[in-house]
């Protein structure tokens, strides 16, 4: 590598290092920054990943509510039948004490989003548990793409 | 009167036009980085939507990408470590384009998360698609111009070089 490219590589490394230090510092000071250090486990439920077979069985139970963590436009374009939409970041976490709520006392919840690499369902699950939900929060590992790829029923239409 | 060829040669070497492009691109990166930093969780959700970053690494990407953009933006505006900043900016934009193409091929459609101006009530359609990809490609062309230039007017590097020459004489 000639001298010119070596200097550019050195400068690139310097920029990245400054960005990492600055980014971490900003995140620590940010009121809505990420908690990068693992904090003590939440008091309450755990996040449990489930496959399609288990999700299909749970879907048949009236005591189980499916929650779609994607954006409203995607929810309207296609969703698991009976699911309610709570976008992962902006959606309001419903109350726990209302029987009619998706997080009602007798209700089990299964969250889903775009698939294995999508973090939206996990993010929403974390918010629900942080809000004090004491039951397990299930996440459909393969998400909506996995559900449709298996030929399972779906619905479309206005958001709820 | 200079010929077009001569104007192009001057621009490629580095003139006021190159400087304007450099500063404009710096402002674009700075703006994008600052807007993404305002709400790390929202930016993280946008990163997760592409489906390329494992869920465990999303928070780190959500912290690192905006801060890299801010540093690149500042370097370009000030004209410091200019070529490295232009190169890193190009790599970042190429990665964004690849991520969008991947998401589009998977049939996804969502806001790219490039400039989060909706929080200020400004309606700006940034749904991933050919327009956003073309815009990023244009930015890459602009950064290539900056990278190639040998002279950067109104830059810290230029000032430092002139100072060095003054001290030598």
Residues of chain A found within 8 Å of residue B63, distances taken between Cβ atoms: 23-24, 26-27, 33-34, 36
Per-residue pLDDT, A42: 45
- In three-state secondary structure terms, A70 is coil
Q: What is the pLDDT of residues B92-149, one digit of tens each?
A: 999 999 999 998 888 877 777 787 766 666 666 778 889 999 999 999 999 999 999 8
Regarding predicted confidence, which is higher, B78 or B157?
A: B78
pLDDT classification of B169: cutoffs 50, 70, 90: low
The pTM (predicted TM-score) of the whole model is 0.66
Residues 6+ apart with CB under 8 A from A156: A76, A77, A78, A79
Helix axes A3-29, B58-78, angle to 10 degrees: 120
**Mean pLDDT to the nearest integer, A15-38:** 82
Q: How distant is the Cα of B5 from the closest Cα of chain A, in angstroms?
A: 27
**Phi, psi torsion values for A30, nearest 5 degrees:** -70, 130
The rounded mean pLDDT for chain B is: 86
A39-43, B99-103, B149-153, B158-162: least confident range: A39-43
Per-residue pLDDT, A35: 64
For residue A44, which of A139, A137, A135, A138 has the smallest C-alpha distance? Answer: A135
Which CA distances in Å does A49 have to A53, A139, B3, B116? 12, 5, 67, 31
Best of A6, A38, A71, A118 to disrupt the B interface by mutation (most B CBs within 10 Å)?
Answer: A118
Q: What is the pLDDT of residues A53-96, one digit of tens each?
A: 889 888 988 888 899 998 888 889 899 999 999 988 777 777 76
- Find out whether B4 and B37 touch, Cβ atoms under 8 Å: no
**Mean pLDDT to the nearest integer, A110-136:** 81
Q: How distant is the Cα of B83 from the closest Cα of chain A, in angstroms?
A: 7
Return the structure tokens found at A47.
């996040």
Determine the residue of chain B that is closest to A115 in CA distance: B51
Q: What is the pLDDT of residues A111-122, one digit of tens each?
A: 998 876 677 888
Interface predicted TM-score (ipTM) over 0.90 = no
Q: Is the pLDDT score of A37 beyond 70?
A: no
């Amino acid at each position: 590598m000639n001298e010119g490219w070596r200097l550019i590589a050195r400068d690139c490394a310097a920029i990245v290092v400054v960005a990492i230090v600055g980014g971490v510092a900003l995140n620590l000071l940010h009121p809505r920054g990420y908690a990068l250090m693992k904090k003590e486990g939440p008091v309450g439920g755990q996040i449990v990943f489930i496959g399609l077979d288990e999700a299909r069985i749970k879907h048949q139970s009236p005591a189980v509510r499916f929650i779609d963590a994607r954006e409203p436009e995607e929810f309207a374009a296609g969703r698991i039948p009976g699911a309610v939409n709570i976008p992962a970041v902006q959606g309001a976490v419903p109350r726990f004490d209302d029987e009619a709520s998706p997080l009602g006392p007798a209700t089990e919840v299964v969250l889903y989003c775009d698939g294995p690499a999508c973090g939206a369902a996990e993010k929403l699950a974390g918010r629900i548990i942080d809000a004090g939900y004491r039951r397990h929060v299930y996440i459909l590992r393969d998400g909506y793409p996995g559900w449709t790829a298996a030929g399972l029923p779906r619905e479309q239409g206005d958001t709820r | 009167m200079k010929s077009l060829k001569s104007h192009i040669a001057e621009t490629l070497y580095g003139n006021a036009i190159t400087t304007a492009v450099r500063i404009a691109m710096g402002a674009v990166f700075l703006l994008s980085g600052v807007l993404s930093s305002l709400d790390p969780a929202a930016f993280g959700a946008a990163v997760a939507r592409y489906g390329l970053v494992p869920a465990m690494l999303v928070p780190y990407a959500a912290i690192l990408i905006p801060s890299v953009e801010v540093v690149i933006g500042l370097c370009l505006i000030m004209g410091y470590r200019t070529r490295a900043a232009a190169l890193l900016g190009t790599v970042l934009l190429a990665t964004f384009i690849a991520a969008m193409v991947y998401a589009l091929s998977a049939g996804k459609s969502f806001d790219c998360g490039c400039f989060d101006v909706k929080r200020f009530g400004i309606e700006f359609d940034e749904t991933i698609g050919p327009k956003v990809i073309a815009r990023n490609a244009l930015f890459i062309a602009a950064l290539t111009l900056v990278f190639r230039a040998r002279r950067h007017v109104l830059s810290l590097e230029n000032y430092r070089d002139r100072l060095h020459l003054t001290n030598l004489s």
